[in-house]
Amino acid sequence: PSDTGRVLSIQSHTVQLENSAGYPTFKGQVLNGEQLWELIEGLEANGLLYYTHLLTGYIGSVSFLNTVLKVVDKLRSVNPKLKFVCDPVMGDEGKLYVPPELVMVYREKVVPVASVLTPNQFEAEQLTGSSITSEKDGQEACNILHAAGPSKVVITSINIDGTLLLIGSHLKEKGQSPEQFKIVIPKIPAYFTGTGDLTTALLLGWSNKYPNDLDKAAELAVSSVQALLLRTLADYQKAGYDCQSSSLEIRLIQSLDDIRNPEVKYRAKRY
């Protein structure tokens, strides 16, 4: 397998805001669906529409999400093997942070065309319509999502009694049962911004290198993210900051070595 590729990434980068929406206020502009389509036309005019992967994250409106669906079709008309890695960002910890109409669009139109799906616990519940309170529920949610389309599903975390579990599931052949695993992640008592984006991006990268080994891709992704989060926490603590009080900005640049070359300290356990 080749370890190079071309990724078109559409997510919160389709805004220009002076800070993330996690702050009390934000100013700037948000790209709309027509403006996204103009960019695609520009790429097409220059022969730049060949991508191996489309990565999507936070999308704030139904019209933008519908344009993303048009982009999927367009990119697949150029490269039928395009992998669509979809982080169905809708909410967390029991709360939606997108308009509720988006849920049905994800369920009915987006999930069916996704290759890889990386919901958190709440998003997996929204997409399957069933609550996840155990590992078994998590595995079952993956089965439901496979039946709807994607061959790889990673629930990036479910919270079971204060411990985080990542649950991965790879349906290698239709009609067979998926290979499923968990990675146990000790919960750090702080709240971070950007962990979901980073996890999905790393899963994309490592899955491109190891297309038949989702366990390994997830181990590498989790190990990078954890090294980065521990560095972030230590950094804030050194500055005397109360880490419980608000969300911490992840130390991305300072963690480049851990991102490129993680030491695998978190292991996948097969079910």
CB 118 within 8 A of CB 199: yes
Q: Which two tokens stand for residue 119?
A: 């919901």
Whether the Cβ atoms of residue 143 and residue 180 lie closer than 8 Å to each other: no
Mark residues 210-249: x for contact with Mg ion by CB under 5 A, - for none. ----------------------------------------
- The footprint of Na ion on residues 142-171 (CB under 5 A) is 156
State the Cα–Cα distance between residues 90 and 102, nearest whole angstrom.
8
CA 38 to chain centre: 25
- Cβ neighbors of 119 (< 8 A, separation 6 or more) are 87, 88, 126, 127, 145, 153, 155, 156
DSSP assigned state of 217: H
Which amino acid would we find at residue 223?
A: S
**Is there binding between residue 120 and Mg ion (CB under 5 A)?**
yes
Q: In the complex, which residue's CB is closest to Mg ion? A: 196
As a whole number of angstroms, the distance between CA 262 and CA 209 comes to 14
196 interacts with Mg ion by CB under 5 A: yes
Picked from Mg ion, Na ion, ligand ATP, none, the partner binding residue 187 (CB below 5 to 8 A depending on kind) is ligand ATP
* Residue 118 sits in the site that holds Na ion (CB under 5 A): yes
- The smaller minimum CB distance to Na ion, of residues 150 and 196, is found at 196
Active-site residue (options: 197, 213, 242, 257): 197
Residue 121 C-beta: closest distance to ligand ATP, Å: 7
Write down the least CB distance from residue 165 to ligand ATP, Å: 9
| 3-state SS, residue 64 | helix
Tell me the site size for Na ion, rule CB under 5 A: 4
**Beta carbon of residue 155, minimum distance to ligand ATP (angstroms, whole number):** 8
Binding pattern for the stretch 193-212 against Na ion, x by CB under 5 A and - elsewhere: ---x----------------
Residues 67-106, one symbol each (x = binds Mg ion by CB under 5 A, - = not), give ----------------------x--x--------------
The region of 7-15, 66-74, 116-124, 254-262 touching Na ion under the rule CB under 5 A is 116-124
Instruction: Please indicate whether residue 197 is annotated as part of the active site.
Output: yes
64-72, 193-201, 213-221, 228-236 -> range binding Mg ion (CB under 5 A): 193-201
User: Are 207 and 152 in contact, with CB atoms under 8 Å apart?
Assistant: yes
Beta strand residue intervals within 143-205, DSSP E: 152-160, 163-170, 179-186, 192-193
33-45 and 62-78 helices, crossing angle to 10°: 20
Instruction: In whole angstroms, give the CA distance from residue 58 to residue 12.
Output: 6
Using CB under 5 A, list all residues that contact Mg ion.
Answer: 89, 92, 120, 196
Q: Tell me which residues touch Na ion (CB under 5 A).
A: 118, 120, 156, 196
- Would you name the residues annotated as active-site residues? 197
